[in-house]
Structure formats: structure tokens, C-alpha cells
């Protein structure tokens, strides 16, 4: 069995608030780039499927030719192989990315399961894996919190959606996205980090993949920071908790907040 | 041409945020000068189809089938595609629930259309949809414009007001799903409620969220937070600090790596206001901060604040609210 983990390199979440509109517009984001935190759960699950079912794993990232840090992290965790799809010269939207990633999965030949995190912390679309499933013609289960079983050409998963937890069975090959309830991603070991640093990661040009016709249907314009509140906070003071509470409720009621 | 809205059902009942989306879609359809269509899928569709007319749809496509009794992506994709074709839709909208987000994206991809996922505002510009959506975990906003004939968006709950139901009647057109059980890849083996009792965070008009301040005495702290929430019919949330301390499960977490909420009122109790937390709740209309530290950054974002010990303020506040709101 072979598992492909789709990984994105994204800004460190601690630095997200510092990313400026201009950096995003120009594509030159200065923040420290790391493995998308949600994708660590995907990598961990693929490694665990190696333990449970002897599955081989390959991590695939699409990005600039320098975007290997996320892949090295996955290798250091214990993922078997890594591939970088060099996106230089590609301009498009999330369906463009999905087409290229789907082609990369196809190029692996015999992938039974594609795993991704439930979203990226930068673009937040939760849509690329949906596009990958669509382009591959694979069934999809999103926000998986447990892989119950892989047997008889099917995968059974538990997933959470809108207040219900469903147990769903899908035929393989399939695509799943995973939520953070699914596991506790391991920290790379010292040996793992050494091995990952020595690994040479194959780079495949996006243009060299059989991704079909690439179309772009959406454009990003007017990237901006949300408006910040400017009015000062009204603080309700009093001698006792009861007095403060009464003043706050007075204001909330008279201002029709409640 | 038409604007088409998927009215999601849960247990044969309409999911309320679908009506918010339909209400906004009425404006968009009027701006485009096109018809407003709704599509309802499920084992039963009649009641929700009738309600869609009352909330402003001109025509409702109903796809009733026992195969749609439980939500399965591939079956719902097939149904929604039929409705898009039937309605000749140029704009397709769904509420950005978990299901709405994946279904709208899957249909958009299959029909080679662009999508704005989890949009917080919509408008018509040059005869086409334009959408605003938060990116970089709510730290930036971007306008999404579309190329192509079909434009798709999922709409974050509570982005638009709930429309008022009138007594209008829409024409209901039945569509045939045209699938057999063998055509549907997914089999649902079990469905259990995952959230337990209480108000859903994403739909809540009022949220009371607890942070690090509650960790001191979490049992008492969360009991006080729950009491205050119950007095206002509010949902309970938590900051990452409170979740990491292990006293409430992850599904309560509001923030960059948790849920995004946009209630009318957000009570931040013992929450300092870390930027990662603010990313998940800064869309709240009014923020009320209760914190013992007068210098906590939350007060820079809050409209109302009380400086004090939450273990004393919360019971006083709950008592006062019960007195005032009955």
C-alpha cells in the first residue's frame, strides 16, 4: 500500500499576524516558512499507517524550488520519500494547484490513499484537497479524526462535520483530510533530522507533469488588513463585583447589545 | 440565468445559516436582474422547499430521495450539479458549514468554476460575483473576482442578517437524482452527535469564552462561564490556553487554530487577547472583556470591560442578567 501526503510550506503561525498585504501581493512573504501545522497530522497518520499496514509513504510539496524545509520535516518525522514540485512559472488559482498535485500523485503510479491536513494556515481554502480528489476521480472524506480500518479495498474513517461524527466507508483509492483530533504528531528525532538533512529531494517541474489544461478562474485583488477598532474600551468600575456587574449590564441593555 | 443557493438540511430541517445566505442572494439576484433559485436535497424536502419560497426564492428545485437521507458528498454533488444545470445558474452559493464548504468546492471543481470559500461579504461588480474572504487565518482580507461563467462561493455563517419570512410561494420543481445506491461510493456506517448539548459556536449570537484566567480553578471557572452563558442562551468557547490545560475539548477552541466565530457579543473571560486568539473572534460585533489585568491587550479591542477577579465578577454578572433579562 502506498500513501501520498500532500504538504504545504506555510508561514510559522506565530508570524502570520506580521505578514503584510504587500508581501502576499508580491509573493515574497518574509516570515519563517515551516510545514503547515495541519499537515503534520497528515504526515503522522501516514507514518502510523506504515506501522499498522506496512504502507510506504511519499510526501509531496508544490512550491518554489527552495521549499524543501517542510519536506525535510516530514522526512525527519519518518516519511519514506519526498518530492518537490517546482511551481516556478505557474500562475493560477487553487484548481491549478489541485491539477498539478493530482498529476504528481498519478505520477507516483500506485497511490492507494492521499492524506492532507484540513486546511493551510495561509490561504485557508480547505479546497485544494477537494480539487485533488475531483481531478483524480477519487472519493473524499474531509476532517477525518480516526482511520478505523483499511481492508478489502476500502477505508473506514470517522469524521466530524457540523455537530455529527460519521463513520464512513470509502473505496480505495481515496483522498482524506485530517483534523487535529486524529493523532499527536511526533517531534523529529535527532537521527531523523540527520537523515533528512542528508536526503536529496527530487525536484520535478510542474510543467513536466501531465496536469492537463491549466485554467485560472479566480483572482486575488485588494489584499488588506481588516479594519482595527478605534474607539476606546469603556471600563466599568465600582467598589464591589456586584456594582461593576450592574453597571456593565446597564450599559449592555441600554446600548441594545443584549 | 439565475443565482442558486443550496439550502442545507440536517434531519430534514433547514440549517438556519442557509437562510442568511439566501437573504443575501436575493439582493445579488436583484442586482443582476436574474431569478433567485434554491435547491433542497434530502429524504424529505417539502417543508424546507416551502420555507425557501417564504425567505425569497422565486423557484425551488427539490431533489427528494432515500439515497439522500444521510449526507454523502458524491450523491449531493450529483444532485447539486443537476440543480445548477436545471436553474442555468451563473452564481452558486452555500452556507460555509463543513458540508457547505466541501460540497460547493467539489461542484465548482467539477464544473470548472472558480470558488471563493468561506466568504464574509458578497457583491456584484461588472455583472459578476465578487467576494471578500479572510486569509492568513483572519489576519488579512482579499477580494476574490471571477473569470468564467459560473461563480461559486460558500458564505461564513453570521455574515448576513437572517431574512424575514414572508408569505410568498415559490414554484417547486422536482428533480430526479438519477442515481442508484451502487453509484454512490461512500457508505455511512454510523452517525453520532459530536458536540453534545448546547449552542453551536459558529451560529451563536452570543459567545462566552474562557481563557487562562479560568485555569486557576478550572472546575469552578467553567461552571461560572457556563452559568453566564446559560443566562443569555449563549455558546461556550475557550482560548487555546484553556483547551491545552485539558478542561474542555478542542471543539471549544476559538482562534487561529480553532474555530472562527462572529457573534453579536463576545464575552472574553480571563482571556488576555493574544493575537492568535483575536484572529478567531475579531469579527464579533461587540467584545466584552473581563480580566484581572487592566493592561491585558484584550481591552484594546473590547468595547466594554470590567477589571476584576472573574470568580467574583461572573456570579455577580449572571445574577444581574437574570434579574434584568428575566
State the pLDDT at residue B197: 52
pLDDT at B90 over 60: yes
Residues A172 and A233 in one domain: no
Let me know if residue A75 belongs to a domain: yes
Does the beta-carbon distance from A167 to B300 stay under 8 Å? no
Instruction: Determine contact, residues A49/A25, Cβ cutoff 8 Å.
Output: no
Instruction: Tell me the β-bridge partners of A154.
Output: A151, A171
One domain for residues A171 and A249: no
Residue pLDDT, tens place only, B71-81: 999 999 999 99
> Mean pLDDT over residues B278-302, rounded?
94
- A135 and A246 together in one domain: no
Q: Which pLDDT band, with edges at 50, 70 and 90, does B322 fall under?
A: very high
Q: What CATH number did the domain enclosing A183 receive?
A: 3.40.50.620
pLDDT at B184 exceeding the cut of 90? yes
Does A130 lie in the same domain as A15?
yes
Planar angle of CA B181, B185, B186, nearest 5 degrees: 95
Q: What is the pLDDT of residues B16-63, one digit of tens each?
A: 999 999 999 999 999 999 999 999 999 999 999 999 999 999 999 999
Place domain B206-325 in its CATH homologous superfamily: TPP-binding domain (3.40.50.1220)
Q: Is residue A122 in some structural domain?
A: yes
- Domain encompassing residue A17: 2-208
Contact state of A242 with B299 under an 8 Å Cβ cutoff: no
Q: Do A220 and B206 touch (CB under 8 A)?
A: no
Domain membership of residue A84 (yes or no) is: yes
Rg, chain B, Cα only: 21
Q: Do A244 and B134 touch (CB under 8 A)?
A: no
Predicted pLDDT at B195: 65
* pLDDT score of B133: 97
Cα–Cα distance between A68 and A33 in angstroms, integer?
10
Nearest Cα of chain A lies from the Cα of B257 at a distance, in angstroms, of 8
| Positive/negative CA dihedral, B292, B265, B221, A248 | positive
Task: Using CA coordinates, name the residue in chain A closest to B206.
Answer: A258
Task: Tell me what pLDDT residue B311 has.
Answer: 96
Number of structural domains chain A divides into: 2
Pick among A217, A231, A257 to test the B interface (most B CBs inside 10 A): A217
Interface test with B, best of A244, A251, A253 (most B CBs within 10 A): A244
Exposed, middle or buried: residue B262 (CB in 10 Å: 0-12, 13-18, 19+)? buried
Contact A245 B137 (CB under 8 A): no
Task: Identify the residue among B75, B109, B290 best suited for mutation to test binding to A, counting A beta carbons within 10 A and taking the highest.
Answer: B109
- CB contact, 8 Å: B1 with chain A? no
Lookup: cell for A65? 524550488
CB B217 within 8 A of CB B209: no
Question: A168 and A92 share a domain?
Answer: yes
CA pseudo-torsion sign B316, B322, B324, B325: positive
Find residue B174's DSSP bridge partners.
B62
Asked if residue A247 and residue A138 are part of one domain, the reply reads no
Residue by residue, what is the 3-state secondary structure of B208-265? EEECHHHHCCHHHHHHHHHHHHHHHCCEEEECHHHHHCCCCCHHHEECCCCECCCCCE
Question: What's the pLDDT at B307?
Answer: 96
Q: Which region among A73-77, A220-224, A230-234, B313-317 has the lowest average model confidence (pLDDT)?
A: A230-234
pLDDT mean over B305-324: 95
- What does the alpha-carbon distance between residue B237 and residue A243 come to, in Å, rounded to a whole number? 26
Q: Which residues of B touch A219 (CB under 8 A)?
A: 144-147
Distance from C-alpha of B82 to C-alpha of B103, rounded to nearest angstrom: 13
- The domain B2-183 is placed in CATH, from the list 3.40.605.10, 3.40.50.1390, 3.50.50.60, 3.40.50.620, at 3.40.50.620
pLDDT at A25: 92
Q: Summarize the confidence of residues B301-307 as an average pLDDT.
A: 95
Q: Residue A258 has what pLDDT?
A: 85
Decide if pLDDT at B248 tops 80.
yes
Domain annotation covers residue A215: no
Asked if residue A220 belongs to a domain, the reply is: no
How far does the CA of residue B272 sit from the closest CA of chain A (Å)? Answer: 14
Shared-domain flag, residues A69 and A39 = yes
Query: Does residue A137 sit at the B interface (CB-CB below 8 Å)?
Result: no
Supply the pLDDT for residue A227.
Answer: 84
Considering chain B, tell me which residue range(s) the CATH 3.40.50.1220 domain(s) occupy. 206-325
- How close, in Å, is residue A227 to chain B by CA atoms? 10
Classify residue A73: in a domain, yes or no.
Answer: yes
pLDDT for residue B152:
98
**pLDDT 10s digits, A67-79:** 899 999 999 999 9
| pLDDT, position B245 | 84
Query: How far is the C-alpha of B285 from the C-alpha of A227, rounded, in Å?
Result: 13
CB atoms within 10 A of CB A23: 17
Residues A75 and A34 in one domain: yes
Domain check: are A124 and A179 in the same one?
Answer: yes
What pLDDT is attached to residue A230?
Answer: 75
Contact A93 B99 (CB under 8 A): no
B264, burial (CB in 10 Å: exposed 0-12, middle 13-18, buried 19+): middle
A18 DSSP assignment = G
Is it the case that residue A94 has pLDDT exceeding 60?
yes
**Pair A79, A107 in one domain:** yes
Tell me the pLDDT tens digit for each residue of B214-232: 988 989 999 999 999 999 9
Q: Tell whether B263 lies on the interface with A, counting CB pairs under 8 A.
A: no
Q: Mean pLDDT in chain B? A: 94
Q: Tell me how far apart the alpha carbons of residues B30 and B24 are, in angstroms, rounded to a whole number.
A: 10
Angle between helices A69-77 and A190-198 (to 10 degrees): 130
Nearest alpha-carbon partner for B135 in A67, A224, A8, A22: A224
Residues of chain B with CATH 3.40.50.620: 2-183
Q: CB-hemisphere CA count at 13 Å for B67?
A: 19
Q: CB of B179 within 8 Å of any CB in chain A?
A: no
**Those residues with Cβ within 8 angstroms of residue A109's Cβ, 6 or more apart along the chain or in another chain:** none
Higher pLDDT, B323 or A40: A40
pLDDT tens column, A169-206:
999 999 999 998 999 999 999 999 999 999 999 999 99
CA-wise closest residue to A43 among A9, A75, A12 = A75
Residue B133 vs residue B250, higher pLDDT: B133
Q: What is the secondary structure of B51-95 as a DSSP string?
A: HHHHTT-SEEEEEE-GGGSS--HHHHHHHHHHHHHHHTEEEEEEE
What ipTM describes this predicted complex? 0.94
| A235 plus A203 within the same structural domain | no
Per CB-CB distance under 8 Å, the chain A contacts of B144 are 218-221
**What pLDDT score was predicted for residue A91?**
86
Q: How many CB atoms lie within 10 A of CB B199?
A: 19
Nearest-angstrom CA–CA distance, A162 and B131? 24
What's the DSSP call for residue A55? -
| Confidence check: pLDDT of A60 > 80 | yes
> What's the rounded Cα separation, in Å, for the pair B177 and B68?
9
Assess whether A199 and A117 both reside in one domain.
yes
Share above pLDDT 90 across residues of chain A, in percent, rounded to a whole number: 86
Amino acid at each position: 500500500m502506498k500513501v501520498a501526503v500532500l504538504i504545504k510550506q506555510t508561514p510559522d503561525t506565530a508570524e502570520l499576524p506580521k505578514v503584510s498585504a504587500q508581501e502576499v501581493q508580491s509573493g515574497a512573504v518574509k516570515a519563517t516558512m515551516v510545514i503547515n501545522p495541519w499537515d503534520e497530522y497528515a504526515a503522522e497518520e501516514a507514518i502510523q499507517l506504515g506501522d499498522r499496514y506496512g504502507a510506504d509513504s511519499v510526501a509531496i510539496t508544490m512550491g518554489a524550488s527552495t521549499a524543501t524545509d517542510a519536506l525535510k520535516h516530514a522526512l525527519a518525522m519518518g516519511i519514506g520519500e519526498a518530492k518537490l514540485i517546482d511551481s516556478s512559472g505557474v500562475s493560477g488559482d487553487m484548481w491549478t494547484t489541485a491539477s498539478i498535485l493530482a498529476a504528481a500523485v498519478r505520477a507516483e503510479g500506485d497511490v492507494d490513499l492521499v492524506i492532507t491536513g484540513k486546511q493551510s494556515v495561509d490561504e485557508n481554502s480547505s479546497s485544494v484537497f477537494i480539487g485533488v480528489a475531483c481531478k483524480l476521480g477519487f472519493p473524499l472524506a474531509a476532517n477525518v479524526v480516526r482511520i478505523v480500518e483499511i481492508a478489502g479495498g476500502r477505508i473506514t474513517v470517522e469524521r466530524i462535520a457540523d455537530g455529527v461524527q460519521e463513520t464512513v466507508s470509502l473505496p480505495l483509492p481515496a483522498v482524506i483530510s485530517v483534523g487535529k483530533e486524529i493523532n499527536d504528531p511526533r517531534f523529529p528525532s535527532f537521527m531523523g533530522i540527520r537523515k533528512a538533512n542528508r536526503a536529496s529531494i527530487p525536484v520535478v517541474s510542474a510543467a513536466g507533469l501531465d496536469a492537463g489544461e491549466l485554467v485560472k478562474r479566480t483572482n486575488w485583488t485588494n489584499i488588506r488588513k481588516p479594519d482595527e477598532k478605534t474607539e476606546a474600551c469603556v471600563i466599568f468600575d465600582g467598589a464591589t463585583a456586584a456594582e461593576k456587574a450592574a453597571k456593565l449590564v446597564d450599559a449592555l441593555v441600554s446600548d441594545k447589545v443584549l | 440565468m439565475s443565482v442558486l443557493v443550496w439550502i442545507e438540511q440536517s434531519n430534514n430541517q433547514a440549517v438556519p445559516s442557509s437562510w442568511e445566505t439566501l437573504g443575501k442572494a436575493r439582493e445579488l439576484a436583484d442586482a443582476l436582474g436574474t431569478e433567485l433559485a434554491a435547491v433542497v436535497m434530502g429524504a424529505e424536502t417539502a417543508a424546507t422547499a416551502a420555507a425557501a419560497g417564504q425567505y425569497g426564492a422565486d423557484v425551488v428545485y427539490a431533489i427528494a430521495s432515500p439515497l439522500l437521507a444521510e449526507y454523502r458528498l458524491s450523491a449531493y454533488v450529483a444532485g447539486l450539479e443537476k440543480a445548477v444545470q436545471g436553474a442555468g445558474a451563473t452564481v452558486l452559493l452555500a452556507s460555509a458549514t463543513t458540508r457547505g464548504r466541501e460540497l460547493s468546492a467539489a461542484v465548482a471543481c467539477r464544473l470548472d468554476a472558480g470558488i471563493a470559500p468561506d466568504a464574509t461579504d458578497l457583491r456584484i461588480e461588472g455583472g459578476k460575483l465578487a467576494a471578500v474572504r479572510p486569509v492568513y487565518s483572519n489576519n488579512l482580507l482579499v477580494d476574490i473576482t471571477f473569470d468564467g461563467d459560473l461563480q461559486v462561493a460558500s458564505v461564513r455563517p453570521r455574515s448576513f442578517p437572517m431574512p424575514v419570512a414572508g408569505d410568498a410561494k415559490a414554484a417547486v420543481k422536482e428533480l430526479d437524482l438519477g442515481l442508484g445506491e451502487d453509484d454512490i461510493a461512500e457508505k455511512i456506517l454510523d452517525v453520532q452527535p459530536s458536540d453534545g448539548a448546547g449552542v453551536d459556536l459558529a451560529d451563536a449570537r452570543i459567545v462566552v469564552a474562557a481563557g487562562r484566567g479560568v485555569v486557576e480553578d478550572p472546575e469552578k471557572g467553567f461552571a461560572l462561564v457556563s452559568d453566564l452563558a446559560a443566562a443569555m442562551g449563549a455558546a461556550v468557547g475557550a482560548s487555546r490556553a484553556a483547551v491545552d490545560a485539558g478542561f474542555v475539548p478542542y471543539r471549544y477552541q476559538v482562534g487561529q487554530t480553532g474555530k472562527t466565530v462572529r457573534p453579536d457579543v463576545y464575552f472574553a473571560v480571563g482571556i488576555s487577547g493574544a493575537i492568535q486568539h483575536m484572529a478567531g473572534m475579531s469579527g464579533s460585533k461587540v467584545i466584552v472583556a473581563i480580566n484581572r489585568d487592566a493592561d491585558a491587550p484584550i481591552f484594546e479591542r473590547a468595547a466594554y470591560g470590567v477589571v476584576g477577579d472573574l470568580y467574583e465578577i461572573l456570579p455577580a454578572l449572571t445574577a444581574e442578567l437574570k434579574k434584568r433579562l428575566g
